Amino acid sequence: MKLSSPEAYLDSLKDLERDVFVLGERCSCTVEHPMIRPSANAVSESYDIGEEPEAEDLLFTTSHLTGRKISRFTHIHQGTEDLVDKVLMQRMLGRRTATCFQRCVGMDGFNALYSVTYECDQAHGTGYHGRLKDYLEWVQDENVVVEGAMTDVKGDRSLRPGEQPDPDVFVHIVERVPGGIVVRGAKAHQTGALNSHEILVMPTTAMREGEEDFAVSFAIPADSKGITFVLGRQPSDTRKMEGGPLDVGNPGYGSQEALVIFEDVFVPEERVFMCGEVDQSGKVVERFASFHRQSYGGCKVGVGDVIIGAAQLAAEYQGAARASHVRDKITEMIHLNETLFCCGIACSSRGHEMPAGNWDVDALLANICKLNVTRFPFEIARLLQDIAGGLVVTMPSEKDFANPETAAYLEKYLKGVEGVPTLDRMKIMKFIENMTVGCGAAAYLTESIHGAGSPQAQRIMISRLADIGEKVALAKKIAGIE
């Protein structure tokens, strides 16, 4: 593996020459920007063995393509054990960072395309599967970060891609040229885009006849000519630029999203994995969605572990840890968090082999997992704020603690139980603020709603996959109805 350490990964980002805009200004080096660096730190944890005894086996595995040791984030699942280990790895990294570590979308995209390209070749005589395997082998050997790009900006939601007044609101082919294609459009909410070496583009919905130009999938270096990145805002994000770590809440780690714009970008033929096969486009969307909905049973649970710890710590610091209602609330937080984990493990354990030889999750249970994720983290966050109290959003700033005129007052009046430094109490309160209303809430709460599809998307799939007819037949049989 070429990139084999956090330091090597962070250094590699400095070599990317991209058009990046942050707060209306060009950014020449994202990894050194204070608003972006914490998110790069989170990705770098995927290169670090760390202190957990199980970390090496979870972070790394053996490539079925080469037999060499690779990052699990570049792996194609070869059985239910791989699917389970993926969830365990995601929980571990969530526990380390308390945020999104940004490599899951690319991993889930690879695994969706692996089976679809194989089936597309069988149906249409194309050569996409071999191209994808060649690309994967390179990704595995280099251990680069690949951002999965699925969500188009969509324009008028009442119109199909082919009906839009401006076709650029969906990424599409504008020209087929010798040796490749030229594409235009934009992908929104792109998690980890500024921390990725490569971009893996997939269609955002099932295309129909007449929408062949929109049925496109490809991989492209992030610093390719014609790509522009605009960083999205998060609550309290400029606190990272103020110098002190206290007000940030989680100073070491974070997440980020960007609008990624493709303006007549050339994609070489060997990097094209779908080019007009409308009958295959919906498969990519559904299989990717299942893999990514499985992912949330790991990453959000790991973050939940940290949040539960913060709730217990806040209660201890203010002398409320023994109150029965506090113990009940923390127990409920654990119950909700472990229920999400159960769903992630269940859909993995009931996975099945695909014709291409890779393994897919149980799609129904994966959608159940994600629908629960749209609810439970919000209740966990509500209970966290309930336990912590109103000080979460009324605390003075770090500068007030540093000002001799106010510091003594704050030490005196914001102190909790004896023996706990006032500043330690403030640190956990600022962390709770970050996770429930600040930058951390973007990765934990908003992403829980919209990442891997909105709640309605899961409801549609659950209704489609649940086989109501079979359940009706069971009821009729037992009730004695002919």
Pick the catalytic residue: 119, 198, 398, 447? 447
Q: Do domains 6-278 and 283-479 have the same CATH topology?
A: no
Q: What is the pLDDT of residue 202?
A: 98
- From the candidates 30, 80, 100, 135, give the one annotated as an active-site residue: 100
Closest alpha carbon to 249 in 363, 394, 132, 98: 98
Q: Note every long-range contact of 11-16, with CB atoms under 8 Å and residues 24 or more positions apart, other chains counting.
A: 12/144, 12/197, 13/40, 13/195, 13/197, 16/197, 16/222, 16/223
Three-state SS for 193-211 is HHHCCEEEECCCCCCCCCC
Options 27, 120, 275, 299, the catalytic residue: 299
Q: Identify the active-site residue in 296, 317, 347, 439.
A: 296
pLDDT of residue 1: 73
What's the Cα-to-Cα distance from 377 to each of 303, 382, 387, 447, rounded to whole Å? 10, 8, 15, 10
β-strands 172-177, 180-191: how paired?
Answer: antiparallel
Residue matched to tokens 């969500």: 151
CATH assignment, 6-278 = 2.40.110.10
Residue 43 confidence (pLDDT): 98
pLDDT per position as a tens digit, 234-249: 999 999 999 889 999 9
Distance CA 349, CA 454 (A): 24
120 is catalytic: no
What pLDDT does 236 receive? 95
Q: Is 342 a catalytic residue?
A: no
**Domain definitions of the chain by residue range:** 6-278, 283-479
* Nearest 10 degrees: Cα torsion 265, 270, 273, 277: 90
- Which pLDDT belongs to residue 243? 83
Bridge-partner residues for 199, per DSSP? 147, 220
Catalytic residue among 30, 117, 191, 374: 191
Tokens of 85: 């280990």
> Consecutive sets of 10 residues in the chain, 482 residues long: mean pLDDT of each?
94 96 97 97 97 97 98 98 98 98 98 98 98 98 98 98 98 98 98 98 97 98 98 96 93 97 98 98 98 98 98 98 98 98 98 98 98 98 98 96 97 96 97 97 96 95 97 97 94
Paired tokens of 119: 């089936």
DSSP H or E stretch at residue 26: strand 25-26
Does the annotation mark 450 as catalytic?
no
**Pick among 3.40.50.180, 1.20.1250.20, 1.20.140.10, 3.20.20.150: CATH of 283-479:** 1.20.140.10
Alpha helices in 71-196 (DSSP H): 80-97, 104-124, 128-142
147 is catalytic: no
Catalytic residue among 33, 172, 197, 292: 292
pLDDT tens for each residue of 98-154: 999 999 999 999 999 999 999 999 999 999 999 999 999 999 999 999 999 999 999
Identified catalytic residue from 27, 104, 275, 439: 104
pTM: 0.97
Residue 257 is among the residues annotated as catalytic for this protein? yes
* 296 carries an active-site annotation: yes
